[in-house]
Amino acid sequence: MSFLHDLKTFFGYLAYLVKGAELLPRIKPIDMDIKYDDGEFKGKASMFFLALTNSVGGFEQIVPDASLDDGKFTLIIVKTSNLVEILHLASKVINGGRHVDDPRIIYKKTRKVTARPAKNGDRMLINLDGEYGGDAPMTFVDLKQHITFFANTDEIPDDAYSEETIEMKQVEKNFIKGVDKLPDKE
């Protein structure tokens, strides 16, 4: 690895720490209803995470047992919004992923998650990899070993096609039908 790569990694990590520290005092718990394969959480929580890999925001111990090929997310629900308790949980993350058994969180492997605010009229914003992803209710399904490609077919030259062309609307419809047919539990 180069010095420049190490520097970028350090400052990227530092940027996450600074932004996280800036946002911590603004965390307010909301009543959530989170359904997952083996259960449901109804109650106040400050946040929930879904992860496929062990690296979340540059931290590699948030999901220490992550596996890309198991067909499951790791769901983490942080039930506390107390700043001191969140900092304590963060120190457990940094010190080897010891947060996974802490009673202030729920740590589960799951294939499907449905998240919604527990009270009508409450707003529950979803952050997808650092960007606003819409408001709950939302359902997340891990489609094991599944990949879908999207392309602007208007920009692809006609001579680039080697097989019959599938209209993107049909691909989208097939995808939605496939997700709807998935069982709630594996």
Over residues 33-48, the pLDDT tens digits come to: 999 999 999 999 988 9
Among residues 131, 155, 163, 164, the one annotated as catalytic is 131
- 172 in active site: no
Phi-psi region of 71 (alpha: psi -120 to 50; beta: other; left: phi over 0): left
Render pLDDT for 63-118 as a digit per residue (tens, 0 to 9). Answer: 778 788 888 999 999 998 888 888 888 878 877 777 778 889 999 999 999 999 99
Domains assigned to the chain: 3-181 (2.60.200.40)
